[in-house]
Each structure stands twice: as C-alpha cells, then as structure tokens.
Amino acid sequence: EAQVTQNPRYLITVTGKKLTVTCSQNMNHEYMSWYRQDPGLGLRQIYYSMNVEVTDKGDVPEGYKVSRKEKRNFPLILESPSPNQTSLYFCASSSGLRATNEKLFFGSGTQLSVL
Amino acid sequence: GDSVTQMEGPVTLSEEAFLTINCTYTATGYPSLFWYVQYPGEGLQLLLKATKADDKGSNKGFEATYRKETTSFHLEKGSVQVSDSAVYFCALGLYSSASKIIFGSGTRLSIRP
C-alpha cells in the first residue's frame, strides 16, 4: 500500500531535549516536505527536499533541521525544542520535481508537546 | 507575496444543503490550485485540483473552477452529507526556482443530520 509513515504519532518532551520525528515513504517520490499545523494558521512549510541531498527552507525553518540521505526517508530534527514548537506536524511527499502540479501524499501526523 | 485566503469557519449546515467555501489567491505566474480535505485524526488528502485557467476539478460530488479573472477557486457541493464533516484547505502550487505549495488556513465544516 502506498503510504507516508510518520513516527511517533504523539510525543511529549521537555524544553531543550533533542528529538527526531521520522518520515518514510514507499512510493519512490523525489519531493518530500514537512509542515506544521497550528489553529488559525493552516499548514506552514518548514523544510522541503526535491531529491536526495537537496533540501531547502520553507516559511518557518527556525529551530528545525532536516536531512535527506536516502530517497525514502526525511527526518525532522529539533535540536533544542521550545514550547513554541508545540504543534501538529505533517510529512508529505510527491512524485516528480514539478511537485506543484502533483498530488501531495500526507502522513497521519505527529502531535508534539514541548513542556 | 503569494498567498491563499479562504473563508473562516466553522461552517455548519444541515444535511442536503448546498455548500460553498470561498477561496481566493494571490500569485505571480500560473499556479496550480488544489482542495485538500482533513478528516478528524487524519492527514490531508487531495480532494480535487485544477492546473490551468477555466479547468474544473471534481471529485465525490465536490467541484471547483479555476477562475483567473477573479483569482478564485471556490469549492461547491450540491447536497452535503454528514460524512463531509471535515476541515477543507485550499492550496496553490508554484514552480519557479523551487517548488512551493502554499495552504490557506482551513475551513472547518460540520454537517447536522
């Protein structure tokens, strides 16, 4: 089954404790992206990647890191989480470099709470 | 800058009512336009899309027409069901030096039986 898998689904942590949210897709997609969803703000793009070893900042990259060492994986790293990073996070992927014409496939989301 | 504006929710309707959710956009170039739907506890899924002016996207009884002259992509359905209760996101996709997909803030729709 074609899917984007994120883990964990829920995460509670404390300020400053490094964490990684994993994202994996089994569709051989070139384009992958991370979004955060906050009430009244919709989805805002954090980082995206158009291919292996190619990553770029989205609209809200501060406090986040990503890597794309393999095509299928695109982990999101919070080196020193802060309470303003409490949010619902989604990973998404799409085929082709012209991802803007193509459907995005979304993971089920990770609800992160930073205390 | 590039942006998407959609009507604020929540929108509450009775079953079988007519639905319109407004969406307008600002973009340089010629974006593709999308409607995504998010059911409770799930990720977003594509509902429909249109890639050029005057295209009509349709799926599951929902429709939206890409109107370049009014920079709009309003979502409509003739007769809503309880199962349509969800959050709906309008989005645009731009490709220049990079892929950029911009989402609106979402509209929560609740349908009463």
Q: From first to last of the 115 residues of chain A, give the pLDDT tens digit.
A: 889 999 999 999 999 999 999 999 999 998 899 999 998 888 999 999 988 999 999 889 999 999 999 999 999 999 999 999 999 999 999 886 565 567 889 999 999 999 9
Give the pLDDT confidence of B72-81 residue by residue, as tens digits. Answer: 999 999 999 9
CB < 8 Å to B45, chain A: 106
Chain B positions with Cβ closer than 8 Å to A: 31-32, 36, 41-46, 49, 51, 89, 93-95, 98-106
pLDDT of amino acid B101: 82
How close B88 comes to chain A (CA, Å)?
10
Q: Assess whether pLDDT exceeds 60 at residue B23.
A: yes
Q: Assess whether pLDDT exceeds 80 at residue B100.
A: no
pLDDT of amino acid B11: 95
Residue B10's closest chain A neighbor by CA? A40
pLDDT of amino acid A97: 53
Mutation choice for B interface testing from A4, A35, A43, A103 by most B CBs within 10 A: A43
C-beta contacts of A4-9 below 8 A and 24+ residues apart: A4/A91, A4/A92, A4/A93, A4/A105, A4/A106, A4/A107, A4/B43, A5/A107, A6/A89, A6/A90, A6/A91, A6/A107, A6/A108, A6/A109, A6/A110, A7/A110, A8/A110, A9/A108, A9/A109, A9/A110, A9/A111
Q: Average pLDDT, stretch B16-22?
A: 97
Establish if A61 touches chain B: CB-CB under 8 angstroms: no
How close A15 comes to chain B (CA, Å)?
26
